[in-house]
Chains A and B, each alone.
Chain A
């Protein structure tokens, strides 16, 4: 069954450093998303991406965040200068179409720990 792959599974970084979280969405999917989940809290939407541009973003997704699809397979989330409160699980997801009939397919997540 097709999967969304995320790397690394766990990233530890010092406050103020830049991090890049990587995702390989399902190959025939056109819509890509990043979500985050702070420990013990609900999954929160960050950004959606379609046709090489951001289609929607939440208020969490401020200037410190950026996304990119540098080639035909990868979808990355960059946090420019990490803060302690950025520590969370970050989930990438993709869908074939909108609305996402059958839901999004989520990756297993990257646990980001900012120290």
Chain B
């Protein structure tokens, strides 16, 4: 599969702080990306997506940034809460997903 990987395997943040999770991809032709959240023992859950004709998209407390020049995605979570603790995957979408290995986010109360 394509090389969709994450820069850091773990991230710890204080409750209330903002979190930034990064992801690199290698296929410059990719045009659609998704961030997923996976809580322990559960399946991946859609958070937010972005198409390659955009460089930023905002959701509720989350923002995805896409830098096509350096093939980099980031997920920003505002005012991180304990319920945000999970593994976060970026995925590059074609006819299938190519998932990165994930970043484990731990929110410290």
Contact = CB atoms under 8 A, between A and B. Distances in A.
B61 interface: no
A93 B49 CA distance: 17
Interface residues on A, range: 20 to 34
B101 A41 contact: yes
A104 B101 contact: no
Chain B CB within 10 A, most for which of A35, A98, A104: A104
A58 to B, nearest CB: 8
Interface string B83-109: 000000101011111111110000000
Contacts of A93: 43
Nearest to A44: B99
Interface residues of B, number: 24
Contacts of A101: 32, 49
A100 B101 CA distance: 21
Interface in A31-56: 33, 35, 41-45, 48, 55-56
Interface of B: 1, 32, 34, 36, 38, 41-46, 49, 89, 91, 93-102
28 contacts: A35-B97, A41-B101, A42-B99, A42-B100, A42-B101, A42-B102, A43-B44, A45-B1, A45-B97, A45-B98, A48-B95, A56-B95, A56-B96, A58-B1, A98-B95, A100-B93, A101-B32, A102-B46, A103-B36, A103-B46, A103-B91, A103-B93, A105-B46, A106-B43, A107-B43, A108-B41, A108-B42, A109-B43
